[in-house]
């Protein structure tokens, strides 16, 4: 073989070396092309935003990075410290994700249409899902029962009846809003009243501005959401005694009795603005280039704001890439929650469903449904695989 390579006009050593070098370059280019081919839409890599400093983004140990349609990676969720979460459906139940244990929630009659849960104080307001009984999306039907489920309760307490329910300014209060049966709630003035979680009236009934409902009661009045296009129109901070609104907001992402977070216009970077209602302090959270906030949730102590952020478009169906980011109050830059960079249809829900400061998320993939838990500052996720079963509804995280 050495004679063949060393003889002949086209076999001199210099040309052979150039030929070998050309093959090596071609192989390298091929590898680079393959590395940058589009992947499955659930297999989203790192954010396309500008790199953040090592101190601002939690590091993910080897083997704990995002995965494809089979799910995300992380450490096994502790069976001894598993959160207890409600699952909606015809027969709501408590679920312990780390163990798979379920226990029916007492006091709720079976309802084939299922139930809707609204986070309120140290628990949830619960109503039968009346959507299937309405003639249109904003038509007021018969008033339905309102129950309260405390975080540590085995069963619910009946509070009253209403069309809509919202969290009160205190942990032990709710606001019930009702409309005349058959009316169009997007153009009709509703009547709202504050009640305790036991159902005792706390205020006289108030007549709301037409087309609005209570989104959250605050220390500075009622935060009202437009009924016509919830989430897109102007939200109002309204005080009945003052006969008007003291503030208006764009698309509200999250609110508590003391804080309101809303999406501001992108110019060109998108921002989330936060108003502290007690101090009047404004904070602007700047998002990386090419990303925008879709949803948000404050931690129970108000120290953190979790944001669902879209940052890319993937696949022929235009599915967005999503990740969770958490901003500490007073900071203008959020940090990325490690391991949750997924397609928009994989991120089902997220929130801070208990008095702990762990952010939980539900992720749905082709092969499994997962619940993740993350404590701000942690280097990795805690993960559990859950099986809600064909008759169960959705996991409630907020």
pLDDT in tens, 221-233: 999 999 875 445 6
% of the chain surpassing 70 pLDDT:
76
Q: What is the pLDDT of residue 133?
A: 54
Distance CA 277, CA 70 (A): 43
Say if residue 160 is in the same domain as residue 96: no
**The whole model's pTM is what?**
0.79
Say if residue 222 is in the same domain as residue 308: no
- pLDDT tens, 202-212? 999 999 999 89
Say if residue 316 is in the same domain as residue 245: no
Distance CA 113, CA 146 (A): 15
Q: Pick from 249, 273, 308: which residue ends a domain?
A: 249
- pLDDT tens, 282-326? 999 999 888 999 999 999 999 999 999 998 765 445 678 899 999
Say if residue 135 is in the same domain as residue 265: no
Neighbour order of strands in the sheet with 319-328: 292-298, 304-314, 319-328, 335-343
Q: What is the pLDDT of residue 32?
A: 36
Number of domains in the chain: 3
Task: Give the range of the structural domain holding residue 294, as residue numbers without chain letter.
Answer: 44-104+252-398
Say if residue 160 is in the same domain as residue 88: no
Q: What is the pLDDT of residue 232?
A: 52
Which residue in 246, 106, 253, 238 sits closest to 177, CA to CA?
238
Say if residue 382 is in the same domain as residue 273: yes
- pLDDT tens, 256-275? 999 999 998 888 889 999 99
Between the two ends of the chain, the Cα-to-Cα distance in Å is 73
Q: Pick from 220, 249, 278: which residue ends a domain?
A: 249
Q: Which CATH number does the domain housing residue 203 bear? A: 2.40.128
Both tokens of residue 232? 């897109």
Q: What is the pLDDT of residue 40?
A: 31
Say if residue 259 is in the same domain as residue 391: yes
In the predicted model, what is the mean pLDDT of residues 107-117? 92
* Residues, the chain: 398
Distance CA 385, CA 398 (A): 19
């Amino acid at each position: 073989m050495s004679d063949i390579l060393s003889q002949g006009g086209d076999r001199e050593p210099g040309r052979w070396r150039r030929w070998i070098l050309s093959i090596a370059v071609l192989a390298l280019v091929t590898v680079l092309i393959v590395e940058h081919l589009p992947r499955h839409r659930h297999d989203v890599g790192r954010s396309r935003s500008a790199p953040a400093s090592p101190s601002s983004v939690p590091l993910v140990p080897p083997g704990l990075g995002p995965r494809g349609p089979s799910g995300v990676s992380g450490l096994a969720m502790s069976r001894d410290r598993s959160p207890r979460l409600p699952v909606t459906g015809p027969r709501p139940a408590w679920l312990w994700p780390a163990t798979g244990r379920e226990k029916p929630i007492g006091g709720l009659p079976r309802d084939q249409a299922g139930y809707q849960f609204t986070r309120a104080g140290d628990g949830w307001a619960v109503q039968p899902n009346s959507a299937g009984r309405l003639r249109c999306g904003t038509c007021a039907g018969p008033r339905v029962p309102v129950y309260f489920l405390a975080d540590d309760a085995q069963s619910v307490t009946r509070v009253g009846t209403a069309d809509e329910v919202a969290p009160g300014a205190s942990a032990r209060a709710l606001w019930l809003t009702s409309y005349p049966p058959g009316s169009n709630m997007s153009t009709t003035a509703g009547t709202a009243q504050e009640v305790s979680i036991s159902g005792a009236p706390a205020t006289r009934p108030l007549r709301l501005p037409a087309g609005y409902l209570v989104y959250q009661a605050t220390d500075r009045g009622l935060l009202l959401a437009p009924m016509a296009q919830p989430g897109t129109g102007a939200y109002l901070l309204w005080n009945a005694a003052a006969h008007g609104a003291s503030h208006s907001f764009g698309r509200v992402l999250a609110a508590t009795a003391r804080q309101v977070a809303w999406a501001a216009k992108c110019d060109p970077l998108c921002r989330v603005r936060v108003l502290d209602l007690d101090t009047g302090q404004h904070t602007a959270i700047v998002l990386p280039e090419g990303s925008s906030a879709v949803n948000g949730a404050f931690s129970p102590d108000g120290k953190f704001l979790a944001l669902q952020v879209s940052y890319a478009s993937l696949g022929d169906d235009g599915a967005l890439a999503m990740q969770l980011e958490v901003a500490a109050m007073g900071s203008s830059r959020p940090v990325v929650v490690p391991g949750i960079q997924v397609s928009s249809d994989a991120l089902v829900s997220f929130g801070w469903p208990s008095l702990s400061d762990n952010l939980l998320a539900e992720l749905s993939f082709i092969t499994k449904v997962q619940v993740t838990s993350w404590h701000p500052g942690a280097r990795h996720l805690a993960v559990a695989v859950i099986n809600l079963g064909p008759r169960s509804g959705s996991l409630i995280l907020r």
